[in-house]
Structure 1
């Protein structure tokens, strides 16, 4: 029996999205061309843009199509920073939560190294929730020096849903724009761009049953953004590059379906997640569930544990050899021999943080997947602990 429990890294393409993708792969036409094939391609793009906007509570003109979530995050962070500093050179502070995905953190630190930005990492509590008091204090003291705030809608590792509305209220009271990476949130919790009050929001295709290499930045029409890449000036003049018509069409279908089915899928997957949590705790009593204690404050598909005395990588490989696929955290950081920055920001000590595993469910997940995990987990933990103990003895660590 095998199980795929890494849907937060990527999830299978929905059959209807795959069908649309294949259909449009055989159609010629660049949507920037003026002939009939080009106009047909442009029609597909604009109809898809309208579908994305309707599903996400945005206007079509606010949907900027990108090559994925990472590009959208870069455009938001860098584009907003450069636009704001061009208007007022004093606005060099960039406020980001300490648990952001590296697609936000790395552009922010790049700006610090190359563009004179001052990065402020907003602390989080033990459940991974951004501390609003710290944000308020920063804004009260430095609002006129702040370019932007970026706080993700929901954390990709421990599943914590952030208080987006409160973040927006605090920042907007000082005239500071807010971006949120909502890559993990769409299809799991309600996401409505207009209602959120956000100035920019990132979504990605392959997290919701669409293809990889496609995403979008929702950005208010009045929001000034400086392009990160230059060329033909497609997408409101701030994102150049020929548009991938088949991927865009499939992306729209996947987002539309994920949003339409969200309530039913979240209820089913959330119940499955709760069963997984209960059974893991019973099988490995000292395993520690990280993130919010209240399931309502966590993404329904997420269960994140640390296993004392284990290395997460060892556990991952042992489970993988038993046919169970999961993650130690963000797939973008897989293979990096460092404890999760998310867990460290939450106050987890380094030794415990190294023993992390994330189990993430998706639309195809079933009880059989949980059964497969529990059939393999106790022996994997025992072997990982034995290997860790032997390694410490060899190193002379008591």
Structure 2
């Protein structure tokens, strides 16, 4: 679900590019507040928001076009040359994923070792903005929680099966591993997958004697600026059988992602050394969304839901009544977190940084 056509991202290049061109000219005057390694969709929100906050910012792209800095990270290379052209920064935000411990170490060490003496040798100090060591934020994935599942999780009960099969599968899912509850928060056990190994190594920098301070922000489904799940209903639920397996999904709008990153930058003492989960504090039932939207995409807005998917949802609800267990009967949508089997709790982030989601819906 996180892969969207490139043309959707092109809708916003005007805003992000303008911000980069303006701010690049200021690099010779000193270090920047925020350096984003990577740009694209995330930068289309973060760039303008940081500019409005009066921060000096710059981002990178592979070719360096539109006012960005050319930069390519090779996770298997120890060559530090690509890092030499990057400016000193108070906060470095890593937008692209890191899939191994070695990749995390090469990125952080590559940047720190090519800094000016003040940035590479001076211990971190909140009181010395332009002479403190850079700190790092890595955009991670909530897919590391819960048996390696993606953002779109399978539902715990196959309601097209007989009563006994549905009840058995429901119970097995909740008992999988040692996690008895459908809820996962930032302190829950994570899966041992390439993405989590990279994130763990990234966080381990905080434990060193002369620590480089880092933080990881695990993101749920990204939406906004052309990204909309309603455009992909036919792809994720092409058949009744596929739809029956769909459970929960979580979202965060790009506007709130930018606010979250700026809050971490401004309140670094709270962010340092921590892994966070970021959603809009809602758990969405894919049956609920699909039955509202149908499969007409943008053309279906403000119209009766089109396609077979809403009919399939109703059939599955009717079939759930055959279950002998009250817990697997669907009486209304959305289904409960217990019926969905997977739910993310991001409330710790919002309460810690004194914020609330300003885009608390999905469309």
Normalised to the residue count of structure 2, the TM-score between the two structures is 0.28
TM-score between the two structures when normalised by the length of structure 1: 0.26
Structure scoring higher RCO (CA < 8 A, sep ≥ 6) equals: 1
